[in-house]
Amino acid sequence: MKIFYSPAHQDHNPPFEIFDGGEKVANFEVPQRAERILTALEGTGWAEISAPADFGLEPIRAIHDADYLRFLETAFEEWLGQEGEGDADYTKVELLPATFPPAGWRRRPESLLGRAGYYMMDLSAPIVAGTYPAALAAANCALSAAQAVAGGSPAAFALCRPPGHHAGRENCGGYCYINNAAVAANWLSPPVTAGPGSHGRAALLDVDYHAANGTQDIFYERGDVLTISIHADPAHEYPYFCGYADETGAGTGAGRHRNLPLPIGSDDAAYLAALEEALRLIRQFAPAYLVVSIGMDIYEADPLGKFRVTRRGIREIGSRIAGLGLPSVIVMEGGYNNEALGENVVAMLEPFASQGQEISRP
């Protein structure tokens, strides 16, 4: 199975985030996550690990606002160049805003901190010097996986870090800066599907613990990409303001988005029941390609999740998705139990890998 990984992610290493209630804590989304996954994959015997190709900015600009991308590229250097009061070791370590626009206030300010509040959804997506290069590399991993699948591979895995599914058209948040899965899905199924470079329409299934609000934002009014997110009920979990069952798309995208929120404490059986509904919708849509955003924060021992999904359940989720028989691009999202993360990802991917060869299971 083709795996795409870039060490550029290591330079995105924010030292802290502002957690629920305003507590300053060590960042949960750390380089160790990707390294644990890489190590586990290297031990499988079926993972073919490669560096991603460079696709340039065009496929990313097709998804994200150009001014937002310029902000990601220049914000930290601009921040370092500004004079300010306070302890420089604290104020210049990473960029986070202090002010966010209320609903309906969408005027874009000129000041850096004003733009930070405009483009950043929360306080869990700090920007440091290596953030933009790492985000570009993650997007290229997803695009490389899409290219491999379009070229005939039954499945490919993009070991993306930072993750992407909370990044909307013009915002970052929830550790996410560029929506890697959305970039890959759009590359496979651009809006004018008969145009040059079109491969066939895609479905995008998100199985992270948290709602794929960024993916929903990007495709909500498009009818050519089916998007489905299975996640914890946003009435009680991040991202709170998006991910409800009655949000089903608009305009030409009406009926093309589905949220399947689950109660806190949902176990293997509850999750798999929701997954069966998602798979039914995908079969009905009959896409040429499937993009799967996987988040191992559904795992029962994840520090940022409250489901009770076991590793056996994770393997079964992978098996049922692979059972669709669709060419599949699998994109890494969340998962913060670093001790278990690598083996959980292997458990999810094994059924896809076995489509091409027999593999031994523990």
Active site residues: 166
Q: Which amino acid is at 223?
A: G
Q: State whether the Cα torsion 230-72-138-180 is positive or negative.
A: positive
Among candidate residues 223, 165, 230, 188, the one with its CA nearest the CA of residue 327: 188
In the DSSP assignment, the letter for residue 357 is S
Contact status, residue 205 vs residue 228, Cβ threshold 8 Å: yes
The bridge status of strand 202-207 relative to strand 257-262 is: unpaired
Contact status, residue 262 vs residue 230, Cβ threshold 8 Å: yes
Contact status, residue 29 vs residue 22, Cβ threshold 8 Å: no
Tokens read off for 353: 């890998």
Q: State whether the Cα torsion 267-272-275-276 is positive or negative.
A: negative
Contact status, residue 296 vs residue 341, Cβ threshold 8 Å: yes
Residue whose tokens read 């029941």: 273
Query: What is the C-alpha to C-alpha distance for residues 221 and 249, in angstroms, rounded to an integer?
Result: 6
